[in-house]
Amino acid sequence: MRIVRTALLLCLAAVPADAAQTCRLDFTIEITQGVGTIRPGTHLPGHAEFTTHGPSIRQEGGSTGHLAMGHMTLGESIAGSIWTLVTTSRGHAADLVGVYAQDVQGLSFAGLDYTGPMALTLFGAPGTRPEDTPPLTQAEWDDLDMRRSFSLHAQGVDMLAGDVVQLAVDCG
């Protein structure tokens, strides 16, 4: 077992890490499924900053995971740590870029803690993304315009959800 584990670690160490990408996203959500005093139709500002790190990981269904470090906030008090971006491209279904946060804090209602995941998910027509890397330019993010959604889950029971109605991106 020790030999197998050592061989696996050596193989992983030999895989080159993808170039790090740092992005700042400022967005506005129009709430479609509210919680407590956050009613449908309410516009909430959001912000995300992240840096990808390490190798990308191919996943089931043709998606790719990109490990990331950063944070995402919504409104004045809801915040979580970004841990991954998921992308799909060149498939038969919609292309997507999802930015996922965990360890969310700042929203509790009726005994439920809305702790995550908190997700910003942007969909584009099949073939929108020529590569499985995260978008870099504002135009590449804007191409993901088929559906743009936000959700924050509470222990699998309920969620705060909305549509992304504005998105400004600065990546480098």
Residue range 1-56, pLDDT digits in tens: 344 333 333 333 333 445 789 999 999 999 999 999 999 999 999 999 999 998 89
**Amino acid at site 26:** D
Burial of 131 (0-12, 13-18, 19+ CB in 10 A): exposed
Which pLDDT band holds residue 156 (cuts at 50, 70, 90)?
Answer: confident
Q: Which of 134, 106, 131, 107 is nearest to 120 (CA)?
A: 134
Q: Label the pairing between strands 108-109 and 95-105.
A: unpaired
Encode pLDDT of 89-101 as tens digits: 877 789 999 999 9
Q: How far apart are CA 78 and CA 56, in angstroms?
A: 28
| Residues 53-96: tens digit of each pLDDT | 988 998 887 899 999 999 999 999 999 999 999 999 877 789 99
For residue 56, give Cα distances in angstroms to 16, 148, 150: 10, 23, 23
Q: What is the pLDDT of residue 44?
A: 98
Spatial separation of the C-alpha atoms in residues 46 and 38, rounded to whole Å = 14
Query: What's the chain's Rg over C-alpha atoms?
Result: 17
